[in-house]
Amino acid sequence: MPAKAAGAAPPQYVITAENLTKTYGDVTAVDGISFSVPAGESFGLLGPNGAGKSTTMKMIGGVAQRTSGSLTIMGLDPEQHGPEVRAHLGVVPQQDNLDEELKVRDNLLVYGRYFGLPMSYLRPKADELLEFAQLTDKAKSKVDALSGGMKRRLTIARSLINEPRILLLDEPTTGLDPQARHILWDRLFRLKEQGVTLILTTHYMDEAEQLCDRLIVVDKGRIMAEGSPASLIREYSTREVLELRFGSERNASIAAELEGIGERLETLPDRVLIYTNDGEGALEEVSGRGLRPLASLVRRSSLEDVFLRLTGRSLVD
């Protein structure tokens, strides 16, 4: 096992993982993954539920011990320097764990105290963050009174109380309605503009595309691919995708008649996907063969297509 670092020199990367592995009994949740994240980057872990994303985040956050491999955050090993590593981080867990018995503003104050921050700093900072999270008018409300989106924003505000330069976000918008997601994305994008390093897990491809400079596609604890959203799409998919629906009974049988159209064909239970650089042209070719789909759609390729190509499965199974 590589030596655990406790370096003092400013690190080139804020996070470096090599052959990071975590097993629970016979189950390997994270299977030897390696990646590095430079300061200021927005780095994503994209994968379905159970891919090992949250476990990786827990190891980065210094709250779960790795089974093997090496991991440094700001040059420090989280297992040896847990408090020092966690003092650098802001953490937004998958499940909100706000203190529901305290008022909204008090949640921020109490959390700031865990970092030894004085009240003279925390009071104005809490007000500032409530403003940032658009929760100023809820400052004196109990947490129970907040909607799901508001609780999520409060959790993000709480994670910023120590002005972290690295923010860990585990499925930040899961369970939120589209409007709440967009508000959150806007807030996160602002932090990114400010130079905060964002480490994000998600199983939403649009979220990954919106927020990540670079990402790793993870499945069954392993990295399937790495790159920017655009480069991954270029590498593993075509420019456009033609989606055809012939009815769930007929999709598979008609697929054979579509052979030769576009570069690649994927048959899913509910639709057939034709990967091509010219979606409209492919649709004309389908019509030219006398096939009449119940519905058709030409769209740009997305990370969903990348994932499908890499694993043969959809992201949200």
Partner 1 sequence: MTEPSFAEDITGSPTAAPPLRAHSPEVSAAKARRWGAFYYAEQVLRVMKGYGWSIFLYSVGQPAAYLFAMGVGLATLVDTNTTVFGGVSYIAFIAPALLISAAVMTAATEFTFPVMDGFRWRRVYYAPHASPLTPEQIAGGQIIAVTFRFLLQSVIYFVIVAMFGASPSGWGWGSVVVATLAGLSFGLPLMAYAASIKEDKGQFAMVMRFIVMPLFLFSGTFFPLDTLPVVVRWIGWISPIWHGTELGRVMTYGYEESPVLTIVHVVFLLGLAWLGWVLTKRQFVKRMGQ
Smaller CB separation from partner 1, 103 or 214 = 103
In the complex, minimum distance from the CB of residue 288 to partner 1, in angstroms, rounded to a whole number: 52
In the complex, minimum distance from the CB of residue 300 to partner 1, in angstroms, rounded to a whole number: 29
Strands of 109-186, DSSP E: 166-170
Give which of 309, 304, 260 is closest to 282, Cα–Cα: 260
Rg (CA), the chain: 22
Strands of the chain, DSSP E: 13-24, 27-38, 42-46, 68-73, 89-92, 166-170, 197-202, 214-219, 222-227, 240-245, 264-267, 272-276, 295-300
Q: Interface with partner 1 by CB under 8 A: which residues?
A: 24, 61, 63-65, 74, 81-84, 86-89, 91, 93, 95, 97-102, 106, 110-111, 113-117, 121, 125, 128-129, 131-132, 158, 161-164, 190, 193-195
The helix (run of H) or strand (run of E) holding residue 198 is strand 197-202
Alpha carbons 74 and 88: distance in angstroms, whole number = 8
Smaller CB separation from partner 1, 109 or 261 = 109
In the complex, minimum distance from the CB of residue 234 to partner 1, in angstroms, rounded to a whole number: 31
In the complex, minimum distance from the CB of residue 32 to partner 1, in angstroms, rounded to a whole number: 20
Smaller CB separation from partner 1, 137 or 317 = 137
Smaller CB separation from partner 1, 91 or 258 = 91
Alpha carbons 317 and 48: distance in angstroms, whole number = 8
Smaller CB separation from partner 1, 40 or 227 = 40
In the complex, minimum distance from the CB of residue 214 to partner 1, in angstroms, rounded to a whole number: 22
Alpha carbons 72 and 87: distance in angstroms, whole number = 14
Smaller CB separation from partner 1, 131 or 257 = 131
Distance of CA 227 to CAs 54, 204, 224, 258, 284, Å? 20, 16, 11, 32, 34
Q: Give the contacts of 252 (CB within 8 A, at least 6 positions apart).
A: 267
In the complex, minimum distance from the CB of residue 115 to partner 1, in angstroms, rounded to a whole number: 4
